[in-house]
Amino acid sequence: MILDVTDLHSYYGKSHVLQGVELSMKAGELVCLLGRNGVGKSTTLKTIMGLVQPRGGRVLFQGRELSGKAPFEIARLGVGYVPEERRIFKSLTVLENLLIGVKASRQPQARRPWTVERVFDSFPRLAERRHNKGGHLSGGEQQMLTVARTLMGNPELLLVDEPTEGLAPMVAEGVLTMLATIRDTGVTILMVEQNYRAAFELGDSFHIMSKGRIVFHGRAEELLAAEDVRMKYLEV
Q: CA-based diameter of the chain, in Å?
A: 49
The mean predicted confidence, pLDDT, of the chain is: 91
Asked if pLDDT for residue 156 goes beyond 70, the answer is yes
Cβ-proximal residues to 26 (8 Å cutoff; 6+ apart), any chain: 1, 2, 188
Domain of 21, CATH number, reads 3.40.50.300
pLDDT surpassing 80 at residue 110: no
- Confidence bin at 108 (pLDDT 50/70/90): low
Instruction: Tell me how far apart the alpha carbons of residues 207 and 110 are, in angstroms, rounded to a whole number.
Output: 27
| Mean pLDDT of all residues in 11-33 | 95
The domain tally of the chain equals: 1
> Which range of residues forms the domain containing residue 19?
3-233
Q: What is the pLDDT of residue 196?
A: 79
pLDDT digits (tens, 9 = 90+) for 58-107: 999 999 999 999 999 999 999 999 998 888 999 999 999 999 988 765 55
In whole angstroms, give the CA distance from residue 178 to residue 164.
Answer: 12
Range list of β-strands (E), the chain = 3-12, 15-25, 30-34, 56-61, 64-65, 79-82, 157-161, 188-193, 205-210, 213-218
pLDDT of amino acid 33:
96
C-alpha 178/C-alpha 147 separation (Å) is 9
Closest to 70 measured CA to CA, from 49, 42, 44, 54: 49
